[in-house]
Chain A
Amino acid sequence: MSRKSALAAGLLLVMTASLFAQKKEDSGMPKVGDVAPDFTLKYFDGSNLKDVKLSDYRGKKNVVVGFYIFAFTGG
């Protein structure tokens, strides 16, 4: 194999690998540095159902979003 074709093959390998790495990232959790996906979810305050929209806090507050598995299980 010539030097040139070896280089081309190597480059192709790197490109293919990075393509797979990209694909894997897309299916997983957002990473540190990513913009958190926006959501609007409801909670019950004791008398009414209220909406909370994540992006409403943008520019105003930091937000901790803690996902837990089930209510009443140690939380």
Chain B
Amino acid sequence: MQAFQQNLKTLEAADTQVLGVSMDSAFANKAFADQIGVTFPLLSDWGGKVTHEYGIYKDEYQAPRRVNFLIGKDGKIMEEQVDKDAIDPTKIVDACQRPKMKN
């Protein structure tokens, strides 16, 4: 999430809202956000309903896999990053700045 925070100005300039999601409680996520200096919302998927709907629940973790989605203004998924590839969000930051994402 810090990697998104570091790129937040670029993302916001490209008309992009960043949301983090985990299965932690909303209160734990707020404490986590404060600790690491994240200013965008970290959402609580308590119980994992959304994690399951997105098909990314991992039994081994009893939690979501690390996955980033870039969703366009039309609601469609434009880019995905999964597991280790999701640690560095450069692909998504670059994609936001493509002209087609600005419409």
Contact = CB atoms under 8 A, between A and B. Distances in A.
* Main secondary structure on B side of the interface with A: mixed
Contacts of B14: 62
Nearest to A28: B55
A16 B12 CA distance: 46
Given A29-B55, A43-B41, A62-B14, A71 B75 contact: no
A45 B101 CA distance: 28
Interface residues of B, number: 62
Contacts of B69: 30, 36, 64-66
A55 B17 CA distance: 12
Contacts of A63: 16-19, 70-71
